[in-house]
Amino acid sequence: MNRLALRPLPIAAGICLVALFAAGCGTSDDAPAGAKKMAFTLTDAGCEPNSAKAPAGPINFEVENAGTSKVTELEVLDGETILGEVENLSDGLSGSFSLTLEKGEYTLYCPGGDEEKGTLAVSGELKAENSPEVEAAIAQYRKYLEQNTAALVAATEPFVAAVVAGNAAKARLLYPAARIPYERIEPVAESFGTLDPRIDARENDVPASEFEGFHRIEKALWGGSTAGLKPVVIGSTAGMAPVAKQLLADVEELQARVKNVELQAVQIANGANELLGEVSASKITGEEERYSHTDLVDFEANVEGAEVAFEAVEPLLSEKDPELAKEIEASFEDVYASLEPYRRGNGFVSYTDLSKADTRKLAQEIDALAEELSQVPAQIVG
Amino acid sequence: MTELTRRRLLASAGVGAAGIGLGGVGGYLVGSESAEADDGTGSVPFYGEHQAGIATPAQDRLHFAAFDLVDPSPSALRDLLREWSAAAAEMTAGQMVGDVNDMQLAPPDDTGETVGLLPSRLTVTFGFGPSLFERRGLGLAGKRPAALRDIPPLPADELNEGESGGDICVQACSDDPQVAFHAVRNLARIGRGTVVMRWSHLGFGRTASTSRSQETPRNLMGFKDGTANIKAEDGEAMDRFVWVGGEGPAWMRGGTYMVTRRIRMLLEIWDRSALADQEETIGRDKYKGAPLGGSEEFEALDLEAEQGGKPVIPVDAHVRLASASANGGERILRRGYSFTDGVDESLGELEAGLFFICFQRDPESQFVAIQRRLGSSDALNEYIKHVGSAVFAVPPGARSGGYVGETLLG
């Protein structure tokens, strides 16, 4: 459970933020592709027209002086803040500037005119135009997302079948593998409201009556004891068939829904951070898989998911800060290396075999990587 | 000796008074200054209608301890509370504890680390946990107030038994950390043989303002905390939400109930989350303290405001879920402190967070109800864990010469 992921970035602060995607902040001579053109004339009366409407998005303001010596300038303001302007347009001259505006009421200001102030009403939702590089990052991550939701369904099917058939031993064997694809893409799953809690809530995350999904079954299979007692003796599938069937329906729903999920480069980068936050908060502490103690399996899956998310946006980062990109690559290697001593066959040692010194070392490697990774979103926007 | 203030002892005995620059303060009279003064000279009366340390403007430092009775008997408990009250009254007045402090062959009654220190608005507040009423041999089972029940399991709990519960609590608050520490240490010493310390916490900075005269402090997440707290000047709110009235057993009238929660903050994760995420998690501007969409700290929350079809204050923002309007008008008096307690052994991360303390008339309908809402959907849960929990009945204050708990045991 991790709720922050993929929360859309607020654009409150941000005419500038959004404008940077398209045309730079403030004035620009280059009209962004697909910008709406709006023509204004400077006259003795002021701005002409002095009342205009436009859809949210990039707008190219084309301003011409039609023979006035009183007015030589047009500004667009949000409250008191000048967002863009063209100045020193004497008789016969023209100029332009571009802005990306979100919904709101803006002021057109032509100082010196009979009526200096007018209004520009912008309506509708803003759609950021992505560069080809950003589109490529999103496409790469989307592919990973779809691969993993498919793998999740494929791995959950035999697990659920074993639970429904009452074969607890087999279900215990299949459980860790079913967790991996989910843990790789968890931040996206969390953007679908109650779907994540239904699939992945831990016992104290939700009211008892709503405790279902993987961890409800985990608890039954390992006998409900957190102390690492003998699951073979006390664990069972009793009562779990309906829970397992619902789990399969839920992961199938997830697979269907990610096909239409909207992604932004910044969200992908944030998702990588969230995955490492997950590692710190619930895997290194042994809280995620408190009955099966397969936390290190999830640990590795979270890190893999973070790495793929990072790699998707890495070209965007490398343009701005190649040094940071290299450091992050190296830190990922360090984290993988720190996991190696605990690898056994296809999986890892039980969490209960880790000493405090072991978990401490792992936690500090993750913190070092995560601190660097947290710098990425701001870099790839700005 | 009991009448001697700690400062006067130095002056009259000449023990290095000049050396510590106190020569001119020898005649300093405790209580001659305002009780409110936070420059060290203020002293808060121990005796009164209500115990001090609740409506008192929150001091900067805390030392909190929970004790368990060793070998419960009514007379031992009565004696303990009598001695504790007397010692607390002395300490809050800036006097030394006890009267054997200068016999060469006897250990001094007072441990001595506050000699030369000002009263620093020390308050000592006592409370009784539900387990006290279950203790065999005390005969208190029938006197347990209905409102005093263990806090039920709450969503997002990760409680540690060793940091929860307790028969009796002592909350010592002061503007000087050594004065607060001294209070708990001396009370523990007085109680030796009768009680043992179960757990204790140091709080290094207040995280709530309980008076309009105080600036709202920041918690360790860097946000102003407790802006909407009940202020002690608001007598009507204090009577409505904090002080027990006619509803409780008679012995609790004028008292209140205290809930404490040790809340570990996952600061490493918090520190690497983007400013926008931090502000949406709390629901306030980090620097100004204004609610999102507003411009002033004390502005009312606009829970209806929307931008681009989404609420300006997110549905899972902490301020929204904790607000009185989201909780059927229920409020609590918060009086918590930031703590840090070394390094988490298994994570190598800072063991730090909020030692949350709140006062209310009825924990079930106030703290528990609010926490149930917060626990299941608060955005902040991503960054915190509740690791300790306790509840105490805080009896009314003692009259001069009496003791706290007299209404229960007297």
User: Which pLDDT tens digit goes with each residue over A193-203?
Assistant: 789 999 999 88
User: Which pLDDT tens digit goes with each residue over A32-50?
Assistant: 556 788 999 999 999 999 9
User: Which pLDDT tens digit goes with each residue over B108-159?
Assistant: 999 999 999 999 999 999 999 999 999 999 999 999 999 999 999 887 788 9
A273 vs B: CB within 8 A: yes
The encoded tokens of residue A17 equal 């933020």
User: Which pLDDT tens digit goes with each residue over A109-128?
Assistant: 999 999 999 999 998 877 66
Identify the three-state secondary structure at position A252: helix
Are the beta carbons of B330 and B370 closer than 8 angstroms? yes
Indicate yes or no: CB of A277 within 8 angstroms of CB of B307: no
Nearest C-alpha neighbor of A40 from the set A18, A16, A70, A72? A72
Residues of A in contact with B280 (CB under 8 A): 7, 10
Cis amide prior to B291 (ω within 30 degrees): no
Length of chain A: 382
What pLDDT is recorded for position A151? 97
Indicate yes or no: CB of B345 within 8 angstroms of CB of A360: yes
- As a whole number of angstroms, the distance between CA B81 and CA B125 comes to 12
What pLDDT is recorded for position B400? 92
- As a whole number of angstroms, the distance between CA B7 and CA B27 comes to 8
The ipTM (two decimal places) reads 0.75
Residues of A in contact with B316 (CB under 8 A): 3
Between the alpha carbon of residue B14 and those of residues B10, B22, B116, B361, the distances in Å are: 6, 10, 11, 49
Nearest C-alpha neighbor of B255 from the set B69, B141, B405? B405
pLDDT in tens, chain B (410 residues): 445 677 766 665 444 333 333 333 333 334 334 667 778 888 999 999 999 999 999 999 999 999 999 988 999 999 999 999 999 999 999 999 998 898 899 999 999 999 999 999 999 999 999 999 999 999 999 999 999 999 998 877 889 888 999 999 999 999 999 999 999 999 999 999 999 999 999 999 999 888 888 888 999 999 987 788 899 889 999 999 999 999 989 999 999 999 999 999 999 999 999 999 999 999 999 999 999 988 888 888 888 888 777 889 999 999 999 888 888 888 999 999 999 999 988 888 899 999 999 999 999 999 999 998 887 788 898 899 999 999 999 999 999 989 999 999 98
What pLDDT is recorded for position B255? 97
Nearest C-alpha neighbor of A184 from the set A103, A115, A258? A258
B382 min Cα distance to partner chain A (Å): 7
Identify the three-state secondary structure at position A94: strand
User: Which pLDDT tens digit goes with each residue over B12-36?
Assistant: 544 433 333 333 333 333 433 466 7
Contacts of B377 (CB under 8 A, 6+ apart): B315, B316, B321
Q: Where are the beta strands (DSSP E) in B274-383?
A: 306-307, 310-311, 333-334, 337-343, 350-360
Instruction: Determine phi and psi for A174, rounding to 5 degrees.
Output: -85, -20
The four Cα atoms A206, A208, A212, A214 give a dihedral, to 10 degrees, of 70
What pLDDT is recorded for position A34? 66
Place of tokens 């009979």: A114
What pLDDT is recorded for position B33? 43
Alpha helices by DSSP H, B49-146: 74-92, 130-134
Q: How many CA atoms lie within 13 A of A372 on its CB side?
A: 23
What pLDDT is recorded for position A31? 52
Confidence (pTM): 0.77
The encoded tokens of residue A255 equal 């697979």
A125 vs B: CB within 8 A: yes
CB atoms within 10 A of CB B228: 18
Residues of A in contact with B346 (CB under 8 A): 284-285, 356, 359-360, 363
What pLDDT is recorded for position A171? 96
What residue ranges of chain A have pLDDT lower than 50?
A: 1-29
Nearest C-alpha neighbor of B205 from the set B184, B183, B222, B227? B222
The four Cα atoms A179, A185, A191, A196 give a dihedral, to 10 degrees, of 0
Residues of A in contact with B277 (CB under 8 A): 4, 7, 270
User: Which residues numbered 1-40 in A keep a CB inside 8 Å of some CB on B?
Assistant: 2-4, 7, 9-13
Nearest C-alpha neighbor of A175 from the set A165, A164, A187, A163? A163
- Going along chain A from its start, the domains and CATH numbers come out as 15-123 (2.60.40.420), 132-152+176-194+245-381 (1.20.1420.20)
What pLDDT is recorded for position A100? 81
Number of H helices, E strands in chain B: 10, 12
What pLDDT is recorded for position A85? 87
Q: Which of A273, A356, A361 sits opposite B272 (nearest CB)?
A: A273
Strands A51-55 and A117-123: parallel
Contacts of B115 (CB under 8 A, 6+ apart): B6, B9, B10, B15, B96
Nearest C-alpha neighbor of B293 from the set B309, B314, B322, B278? B314
- As a whole number of angstroms, the distance between CA B224 and CA B339 comes to 16
